[in-house]
Amino acid sequence: MVSSTRQALDAAVDALRAAGISDPRFDAELLLAEATGLDRAYLAAHPEVEILPPAARRFGEMVRRRLRREPVAYITGRKGFRHLELAVDPRVLIPRPETELLVELALELQPAGVLDLGTGSGAIALAVAAELPDCAVIAADTSAAALEVARANAERLGLAERVRFLEGSLPPDEDFDLILANLPYVAEADWSSLQPEVREWEPREALLAGPDGLDAIRGLLSDRVRLLSSYGRKKAKSADRIIALEVGEGQAAPVGEILAEAGFGEIEVRADLAGIERVVIGRP
Ligand SMILES: C[S@@+](CC[C@H](N)C(=O)[O-])C[C@H]1O[C@@H](n2cnc3c(N)ncnc32)[C@H](O)[C@@H]1O
């Protein structure tokens, strides 16, 4: 049966709302645009347009996936981050807008070399590579599966020559003057209160970090030998050694303390657009 855009959308919105999806119309519009190959604005302006059966079937399948609380980005297979469109799937965290603060910091500092620690889809590393053409970029992740996604994104975006990918954590023998790290920071106690989209679909190892959510950050900063040998190894001045960590709500103060204990003399905290203290920067 052929139905109009409006009929298809209204039915999907009702079903998504009943399933507890927080912004059902927005999601339904995105999925309909994906299923029909038509622009969202065009669909909104032409609610009478007929949806042909193949597109209607695709839309129905996408809505069924969304009803199981699969995130829209995994259904469409992509997510925008700065100027890039990244392929994403459940092997990687879906990049969040607040993580763009780390990229903005790199633009501000104009480092010679950046390490993106915990690269996931490659979001930070690839954005830095695209926006700072003279910066040497390394992307590391302990998850081999995530690195596959990041490497494929680099290839597709024509940035594969610009980023070196390493499996593991802090690399001991590399030169970079800025570490940007969005490591896992969810506390175990907060796990059950996360949205099903996060808890049931995104990789656990990209999110969870012990009882207070700080295990991954503590682990990184306790590795003093690597931390110090990594920083400016081939540089004469230690003044270039900067680390910036994304953190969760309420974690900026304890992370600042951990950075101070690790020997960083100057600590700065930056808030995201929601006013949440989101990035902690440590300078020597
Ligand atoms: C919160 S996700 C961030 C992904 C990506 N940077 C982003 O912002 O969208 C954390 C990533 O760090 C990786 N990871 C966890 N512990 C790590 C560690 N100690 N060293 C390197 N990567 C780690 C996870 O596999 C995951 O891909």
Same domain for 276 and 148, yes or no, is yes
User: Which residue owns the Cα nearest ligand 1 atom 12?
Assistant: 118
Asked if residue 155 is part of any domain, the answer here is: yes
pLDDT score of 187 more than 60: yes
What pLDDT does residue 118 have?
98
Expressed as residue numbers, the domain containing 38 is 3-68
Average pLDDT (247-269) is 95
Ligand 1 site residues (CB inside 6 A) read 93, 95, 99, 117-121, 123-124, 140-143, 146, 169, 182-184, 205-206, 216, 219
Which pLDDT score, from 0 to 100, does residue 239 have?
44
**Does residue 73 lie in a domain region?**
no
Is 57 inside a domain boundary? yes
pLDDT reading at 129 higher than 50 = yes
Instruction: Say if residue 41 is in the same domain as residue 100.
Output: no
Q: In this structure, are 40 and 155 located in the same domain?
A: no
Assign 199 a pLDDT band (cuts: 50, 70, 90). very high
Ligand 1 center to 115 CA (angstroms): 12
Confidence of residue 229 (pLDDT cuts 50, 70, 90): low
DSSP the chain: --EEHHHHHHHHHHHHHHTT-SSHHHHHHHHHHHHHT--HHHHHH-TTPEEPHHHHHHHHHHHHHHHTT--HHHHHTEEEETTEEEE--TTSPPPPGGGHHHHHHHHHH--SEEEEES-TTTHHHHHHHHH-TTSEEEEEES-HHHHHHHHHHHHHTT-TTTEEEEESSS-TT--BSEEEE----B-GGGGGGS-HHHHTTS-GGGTB-STTS-HHHHHHHH-HHHHHHHBTTT-S-GGG-EEEEE--TT-HHHHHHHHHHTT--EEEEEE-TTS-EEEEEEE-
Q: What pLDDT is attached to residue 226?
A: 62
Least reliable range by pLDDT among 53-62, 93-102, 161-170, 215-224? 215-224
Boundary-marking domain end, from 14, 48, 68: 68
Mean pLDDT confidence for 148-155: 98
Query: Does residue 100 carry a pLDDT above 90?
Result: yes
